[in-house]
Amino acid sequence: MRIDVLSLFPEFIGQSAEIGVVGRAIRRGLLSLRTWQIRDFASGVHRSVDDRPYGGGPGMVMMIDPLRQCLEAARADDSRPAHVLFMSPQGRPLSQKRLREWSLMPRLILVCGRYEGVDERFVEHCVDEQVSIGDYVLSGGELAAAVIVDALGRLRDGALGDPESARQDSFEDGLLDCPHYTRPPQHELGAVPEVLGSGDHAAIARWRRQQALGRTWLLRPDLIQRLQLSREDRRLLDA
């Protein structure tokens, strides 16, 4: 899969994707990432990318043409069709389900706005989908794009040491993750739950499911409501 990111701060995206699991996925060729400087596509001696809003008001609005030319340059850099996402608090909330869908696509182009906004005509005509990473306002889309690159990078086949890890993540089954423990089994801060050392794999799986259900019920009741719990899940939750 290939991801292109259009931004006024492309170094930020590039650097955040160099580390950890995602950096390794890129170095192994499991994901290809290219960043583009929107300002490179601005015209005039000042290379302006923004202008004052029609109708007045504070702040500046990003102009259509530098964005559009940058987008067309990115599109033309690869023959595969691209799905274009625009990072915006007005977008659809990001979820693991959306990320799974995008991870099946050959190409994504992420467009990051800055300033007070982007000319709406660009959004209407050049963008397939708007995405938000939560109900708060960031000063630009770069952090959101970095979130998407990270979350998609770790979903690439072979990016995680053990492919089971991605399946066991929080949200992959709609539940929060169960707690994890490692050595030492006894510590002044407490003991590791006994079942985890029992060697009884069925009992361990039941305990983990029960913990995941219990935590989700306590911390994120909104997630539980959206799930179809099995009879066994209800029993574990009641126990």
Q: Catalytic: which of 24, 114, 154, 156?
A: 154
| Residue 87 within binding range of ligand 6GU, rule CB under 6 A | yes
Q: Which two tokens stand for residue 14?
A: 């590039």
Phi-psi label, residue 161: left if phi above 0, alpha if psi -120 to 50, beta otherwise: alpha
157-216 residues in contact with ligand 6GU (CB under 6 A) are none
Contacts of 165-168 with C-beta under 8 Å, sequence gap 24+, read none
154 is catalytic: yes
Q: Pick the stretch among 85-93, 98-106, 121-129, 195-203 that binds ligand 6GU (CB under 6 A).
A: 85-93
Length of the chain counted residue by residue? 239
| Residue 89 within binding range of ligand 6GU, rule CB under 6 A | yes
Please give, one letter per residue, the 3-state secondary structure of 89-114: EEEEECCHHHHHHHCCCCEEEEEECC
106 is catalytic: no
Q: Pick the stretch among 58-66, 136-144, 169-177, 200-208 that binds ligand 6GU (CB under 6 A).
A: 136-144
Q: Pick the stretch among 100-108, 128-136, 165-173, 204-212 that binds ligand 6GU (CB under 6 A).
A: 128-136
169 is catalytic: yes
10 is catalytic: no
